């Protein structure tokens, strides 16, 4: 039986069943477009988190022994169910996150692509084989699952980021405990129910809702073998340190400050369109949002200032449920205050405020957390609005004399998630790709989020750990390698004892 009406009172999904809130430790979920409470989610008790871990542990032996092709059949069915239930999932995303429905569709589509990748993973789990490495000796290496692994996910992609993690993890033969963001937990929970409907055995995927207490318990439990985290940099760093200290494998993806270089030869119409979408889409609450423009030359700076401020005037900001809007609200009243505070800081540090989003009011949605698109020009590297991740609809422009200065700025910044160069000059683009200290690079592509069969990850303080998320790296992250060397007794190959180190 599938309980799809979970928006009002959100519990957990443990051992194949929706677990309704029990202990009454509920926190409110707000609809950011209206500011109203649209539901409540339970912060799992320690006993409930333990139940989820125990369920995953119990499910592991049988799931590990399930042939990869059988695991993949569940993924094929899940893909179909996700497509069938896409409208409902996007409504849940939009209601709790605030992003406009068309943007939620894009998010879900990218998540489905991770499920599609998972469908083909038996191909990547084959291992490597060498025959006759010595007399009558064969060798191979195989990928074995880790056991019970966990994922902790952020509010800004409530459906997609969990799908970066658990489909790959379980395809590798692991079982999983997911801890979604408490701000918008419903879509991940809904998808877990669909996975069960697709045939996933109880316990292979468990979802517990909660906050730091639940996360700490997962990081301390000796059953948990690996931790995938996506969220802000301070939390990512703390989680990486704690997980590592507790002997767990960890990948922790953090925050960002993504720069775009606009060269004097760039196609300005394309640049302006690209910057508008990449800076203000999803209200700037994307880890790949372009939040800094480096205009090469004053002429380009003047042009972008005029063109962007004119486009900002036409931007349609409003409720996430209205598909005609370009941009919805911020996630919470608290985050609204944080982002507004950054704008105040830019003004007090004497950046040039060209478009001021603080003036916006959306008729009929006066209690929503709406902040308009904001543009600062003539920003300097020492300013807080340049140094910090704002995670809102605030685009800051710096004017630089040449590409080398732009490149140095990017390489000196603490974050290294994404970046883009807009140019018609292939030589400049090629040099940029080679030299830039950033994990994901676009050339005239403003949001270079890798497709599902290339892994996703930043450099510097945008990622703690070695392996990136989803794609081929996920096979490495969610498995450990075993190397086997084998010889069967044979009458033709009798050997005496050998005391020298074996070699060919």
User: Which residues contact ligand NAD by CB under 6 A?
Assistant: 152-157, 161, 179, 181-182, 211-212, 215, 230-232, 235, 253-256, 287, 389, 391, 417, 458, 462
Q: Which is nearer to ligand NAD, 195 or 256 (CB)?
A: 256
287 is catalytic: yes
Q: Which is nearer to ligand NAD, 63 or 157 (CB)?
A: 157
Q: Which is nearer to ligand NAD, 221 or 389 (CB)?
A: 389
Distance (Å, whole) CA 68 – CA 389: 41
Asked if 39 and 10 touch (Cβ cutoff 8 Å), the reply is yes
Shortest distance in whole angstroms from residue 189 CB to ligand NAD: 13
Shortest distance in whole angstroms from residue 248 CB to ligand NAD: 14
Shortest distance in whole angstroms from residue 380 CB to ligand NAD: 23
Shortest distance in whole angstroms from residue 110 CB to ligand NAD: 12
* Tokens read off for 411: 């390489």
Q: CB under 8 Å to 462, separation ≥6 — which residues?
A: 233, 253, 254, 255, 256, 287, 415, 416, 417, 439
Q: Which is nearer to ligand NAD, 66 or 244 (CB)?
A: 244
Distance (Å, whole) CA 208 – CA 220: 16
Q: Catalytic residue among 90, 172, 283, 287, which?
A: 287
Alpha-carbon distances of 162 from 180, 187, 500, rounded to whole Å: 7, 10, 51
Which of 225, 234, 90 lies closest to 154, judged by CA? 234
If DSSP states are collapsed to H, E and C, what string results for 47-106? HHHHHHHHHHHHHHHHHHCCCHHHHHHHHHHHHHHHHHCHHHHHHHHHHHHCCCHHHHHH
Q: Which is nearer to ligand NAD, 57 or 242 (CB)?
A: 242
| C-alpha 54, offset from chain centre | 27
Shortest distance in whole angstroms from residue 174 CB to ligand NAD: 20
Residue with the shortest CB distance to ligand NAD: 231
Active site residues: 287
């Amino acid at each position: 039986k599938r309980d799809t009406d979970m928006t009002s009172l959100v519990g957990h999904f443990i051992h194949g069943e929706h677990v309704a809130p029990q202990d009454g430790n509920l926190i409110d979920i707000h609809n950011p477009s209206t500011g109203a409470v649209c539901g409540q989610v339970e912060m799992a008790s320690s006993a409930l988190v333990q139940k989820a871990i125990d369920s995953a542990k119990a499910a592991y032996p049988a799931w590990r022994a399930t042939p990869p092709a059988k695991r993949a059949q569940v993924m094929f069915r899940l893909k179909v169910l996700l497509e069938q239930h896409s409208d409902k999932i996007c409504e849940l995303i939009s209601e709790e996150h605030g992003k406009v429905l068309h943007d939620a569709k894009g998010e879900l589509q990218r998540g489905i692509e991770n499920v599609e990748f998972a469908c083909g993973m038996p191909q990547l789990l084959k291992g490597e084989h060498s025959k006759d490495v010595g007399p009558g000796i064969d060798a191979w290496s195989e990928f074995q699952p880790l056991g019970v692994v966990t994922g902790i996910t952020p509010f800004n992609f409530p459906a997609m980021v969990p799908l970066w993690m658990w489909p790959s993890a379980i395809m590798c033969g692991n079982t999983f405990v997911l801890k979604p963001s408490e701000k918008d937990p419903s879509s991940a929970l809904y998808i877990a129910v669909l996975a069960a409907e697709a045939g996933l055995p109880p316990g292979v995927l468990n979802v517990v809702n909660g906050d730091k207490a639940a996360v700490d318990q997962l990081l301390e439990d000796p059953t948990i073998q690996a931790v995938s985290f996506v969220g802000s940099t301070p939390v990512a760093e703390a989680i990486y340190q704690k997980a590592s200290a507790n002997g767990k494998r960890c990948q922790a993806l953090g925050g960002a400050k993504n720069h775009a270089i606009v060269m004097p030869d760039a196609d300005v119409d394309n640049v302006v369109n690209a910057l508008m979408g990449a800076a203000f889409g999803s209200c700037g609450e994307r880890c790949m949002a372009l939040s800094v423009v480096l205009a090469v030359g004053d002429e380009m700076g003047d042009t972008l200032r005029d063109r962007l401020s004119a486009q900002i005037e036409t931007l349609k900001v409003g409720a996430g449920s209205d598909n005609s809007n370009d941009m919805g609200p911020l996630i919470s009243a608290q985050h609204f205050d944080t982002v507004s505070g950054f704008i105040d800081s830019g003004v007090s540090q004497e950046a040039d405020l060209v478009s001021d989003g603080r003036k916006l009011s959306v008729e009929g949605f006066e209690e929503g957390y709406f902040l308009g698109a904001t543009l600062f020009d003539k920003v300097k590297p020492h300013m807080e609005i340049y140094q910090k991740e704002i995670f809102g609809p605030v685009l800051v422009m710096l004017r630089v004399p040449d590409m080398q200065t732009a490149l140095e700025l990017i390489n000196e910044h603490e974050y290294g998630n994404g970046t883009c160069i807009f140019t018609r000059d292939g030589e400049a683009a090629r040099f940029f790709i080679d030299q830039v200290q950033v994990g994901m690079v676009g050339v005239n592509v403003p949001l270079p989020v890798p497709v599902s069969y290339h892994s996703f990850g930043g450099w510097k303080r945008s990622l703690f750990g070695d392996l990136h998320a989803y794609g081929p790296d996920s096979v490495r992250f969610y498995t450990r390698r075993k190397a086997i060397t084998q010889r069967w007794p044979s009458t033709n190959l009798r050997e005496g004892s050998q005391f020298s180190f074996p070699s060919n």
